[in-house]
């Protein structure tokens, strides 16, 4: 079936198996490789000059995790697939499919898949946003002083 475009916009992009989509590229998680992360991919589902937000899909393989980071912009997350845990601020939360997670400004956060299955999540952000900050050695010492956070970070 031919792709339908209205004023250069592709109207319908079909879901493929394995949480992929027609016309959506599978991207490395970060261009920048200073960051500490493991086994995670990124797909930009919606980014358009007409939209002030972007919707991305991240998938963390079993045992993998996103970068521990913080930034001024907010994350609005819906778990689309699987289960895992997240750290938001000083809170470690157990996550199930379709749970919602809000990461407020300048709040340390990380997402970790369970050992048994991937963790896939949608993340809405502002199109105009600041770059993430990574924790300093001192920030890590502070975070790991909390036994629950230390256990989460080593899991």
Tell me which residues touch a copy of itself (CB under 8 A).
Answer: 4, 6-7, 9-15, 19, 21, 24, 45-46, 48, 50-55, 73-74, 76, 78-79, 86, 88-89, 91, 93, 95-105, 107, 122, 124, 126-128
Residues β-bridged to residue 77 = 101, 123
Backbone angles phi, psi at 15, to 5 degrees: -70, 140
CB of 19 to a copy of itself, least distance (A): 7
CB of 37 to a copy of itself, least distance (A): 21
Nearer Cβ to a copy of itself (37/46)? 46
CB of 70 to a copy of itself, least distance (A): 11
Told to judge if 123 belongs to the known catalytic residues of this protein, a careful annotator would answer yes
Nearer Cβ to a copy of itself (40/79)? 79
DSSP letter at 114?
-
- As a dihedral over the C-alpha atoms of residue 72, residue 73, residue 74, residue 76, rounded to 10 degrees, the angle is -150
Nearer Cβ to a copy of itself (100/150)? 100
Residues 123, 125, 143, 149: which is the catalytic one? 123
Q: At what angle do helices 147-154 and 137-144 cross, to 10 degrees?
A: 110
Residue 34's nearest CA partner among 68, 84, 5 is 68
**Residue 65 CB partners (closer than 8 Å, separation 6+):** 37, 38, 39, 40, 110, 111, 112, 113
CB of 83 to a copy of itself, least distance (A): 11
Question: Among all residues, which ones are annotated catalytic?
Answer: 123
């Amino acid at each position: 079936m031919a792709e339908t475009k209205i004023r250069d916009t592709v109207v319908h992009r079909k879901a493929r198996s394995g949480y992929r989509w027609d016309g959506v590229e599978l991207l490395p998680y970060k261009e920048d490789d200073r960051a500490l992360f493991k086994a995670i991919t990124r797909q930009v589902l919606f980014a358009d000059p007409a939209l002030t937000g972007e919707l991305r899909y991240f998938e963390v393989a079993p045992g993998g995790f996103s970068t521990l980071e913080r930034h001024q912009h907010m994350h609005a997350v819906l778990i689309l697939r699987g289960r895992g845990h997240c750290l938001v601020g000083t809170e470690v939360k157990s996550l199930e499919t379709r749970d919602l997670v809000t990461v407020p400004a300048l709040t340390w956060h990380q997402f970790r898949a369970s050992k048994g299955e991937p963790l896939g999540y949608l993340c809405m952000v502002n199109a105009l946003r600041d770059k993430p900050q990574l924790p300093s050695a001192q920030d890590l010492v502070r975070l790991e002083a909390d036994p629950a956070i230390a256990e989460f970070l080593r899991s």
